[in-house]
Amino acid sequence: MKPEPIIQHLKTEIGSKNMISALSLSSIKAKKELEAKQMSHVKHHDKLPTEAFNETEMRLVWDKFAQRLTKQNKRLMATYMQMNDPVLNGSTITLELPNESTKEEFLSGYNELLGYLRGKLHNHDITIQVIVNEVTETKYAFTPIEKYERLKGINPSLELLQRLFDLDV
């Protein structure tokens, strides 16, 4: 809870009456009353939505958030989100990352992602579990031959095109 709205609200409420010192007991009492009033507007966990969703819906929202991060120039977090496909188990989303440093960087943007998923999927029971799997490390293709082999693995008909048109690698 930010103190600015409370102070601003106190100024407007107190401003109509006689001015009260910020260090007086009256201002402390007014602040506590305002905080109690604001707490009555906070939703309790049992009243938050918990609609069912499937893995396809979750992945669509996940990818949409990653695209949004890319547009906001937060490409590092978007890359971590797209390293591996997240797996849904109940309301827990599991993501495998290649090392601890990647996990720590991912957890820095965790709250924003979690809030977005909970809002878009209308389920506040969602949790994200990050697993470090050293074997999962992504292999990058640097040379033209490595790039060709990687693309050929994705689309085998690329080899047919290469032979048909007698293309160099």
137-157: per-residue pLDDT in tens? Answer: 456 667 888 888 888 888 888
Q: Give the residue-averaged pLDDT of 48-54.
A: 82
Numbers of helices and strands, H then E, in the chain: 8, 3
HSE of 6, CA atoms in CB hemisphere, 13 A: 17
Predicted confidence at residue 128, as pLDDT, reads 92
Q: Which residue has the higher pLDDT, 50 or 81?
A: 81
7-45: per-residue pLDDT in tens? Answer: 555 444 444 455 666 677 777 888 888 777 766 655 555
Domain boundaries defined on the chain: 3-42, 55-136, 139-169
Render the burial of 134-149: b for 16+ CB within 10 Å, e for the rest. Answer: eeeeeeeeeeeeeebe
Predicted confidence at residue 42, as pLDDT, reads 56
CATH of domain 55-136: 3.30.300
**Which SS3 state, helix, strand or coil, does residue 128 take?**
strand
**Which SS3 state, helix, strand or coil, does residue 88 take?**
strand
* Cut 0.75: pTM above it: no
Give all strands of the β-sheet with 87-89 in edge-to-edge order.
Answer: 87-89, 92-97, 127-132
